[in-house]
Amino acid sequence: MADGDAITFIRPGEEHWAHSILGADGEALSDEDAHALNGFDTAQKFADNFFTTRDADWRAPIAGDDTKFLSTLQRFENPEALGTSFREAQQTIRAGNIQKPLGEDPTDEDVAAWRTANNIPLEVEGYLKNMPEGLVLGDNDKEIFNAYLERVHGKNASPEIVHETLAWYNEFVEMEQDAEAVLDDTHSTETNDALRAEWGSDYRPNINAIEGLIASTFGKDAAEQLLNGRYKDGRAFMNDPDVLKGLATIARKIDPLMQIGDGNTDNVTTMNDEIAKLEKYMRDERTAYNADQPAQDRLLELYDIRIEHERKTAA
């Protein structure tokens, strides 16, 4: 073929539109390319087909009517990515790295052999052995996590999956505890501020009475539950002003002496010592005492508490 006749063989003896693209000096086309160009009467038809083909979704012809497979193909950006994934899968299969499933209705011996071959613990406790450095299961979390281990062991979960789940669980619990601590600080400040404003000088005696009531009335476990109990919204019972006011009222009715101390000291001795101190102040510094209204009010209050305590004790 002479130079300048590179594409004249497309339609022998006829001028072809491709000449306008390739020019007279264009390189000779292969038989395959020449045959393809022969399918288009005009350059416009060739261009339309090119852009339609280029912009078409390559996944649809592969998936056909299988919508699930089409959804899987959506994960791949282009045919090259699909090809790479296929090649890697084939290499994995040839290397024998595919975990063979248990057969139907396996015996205990079959399950044990399969677990051994696939690095699955024979017993649940095996998941907690040889854990990654720094990964631990706290004593308070063992009950709930052991239930999880029983469940996933029945599904033959790998140790890697279990350890990753435990790491996530520990992070979740830590975040919950941090959030709870922040909430407690906020509620505690709000509650104390409100009660100090309402109770005034009675704030500390009332708190003492509450502590004395809990320590002397409830058993150790019940007291702990009360002190650490929470509402559904996360607020601690003891950060509720209404709870504290109710407990203070109950404590004063049961024994006014509770407001003297915190339940861990001899309140009678504490009361008598404070009375003796105020009486000495009254005797030795009468002028100052007469001008000290808070001291006078406190002494009268302590007298009332002692009288009420003796009355209840004698009853």
Per-residue pLDDT tens digits of the chain, which is 315 residues long:
344 444 444 444 456 666 555 544 545 556 676 667 777 777 778 777 777 766 677 788 888 888 888 888 888 888 888 888 888 777 766 765 556 677 777 888 888 888 888 888 999 999 998 888 889 888 888 888 889 999 999 888 999 999 999 999 999 989 999 999 999 999 999 999 999 999 998 898 888 888 888 887 888 888 888 889 999 999 999 999 999 999 999 887 877 777 776 555 577 888 888 899 999 999 999 999 999 998 998 899 888 888 887 877 776
pLDDT confidence of residue 28: 56
Q: At residue 74, what are phi and psi to the nearest 5 degrees?
A: -65, -20
Cβ–Cβ < 8 Å for 190, 158: no
Residue 135: alpha-carbon gap to chain centroid: 17
Residue 128: alpha-carbon gap to chain centroid: 21
pLDDT confidence of residue 286: 93
Cβ–Cβ < 8 Å for 156, 188: no
pLDDT confidence of residue 8: 42
Q: Give the C-alpha separation, 141 to 218, whole Å.
A: 27
User: 45: which 2 tokens?
Assistant: 């038809």
pLDDT confidence of residue 260: 74
CA of 22: how far to CAs of 18, 46, 299, in Å?
Answer: 6, 14, 115
CA of 302: how far to CAs of 67, 69, 165, 274, 310, in Å?
Answer: 84, 85, 60, 8, 12
Provide the whole-model pTM.
Answer: 0.47
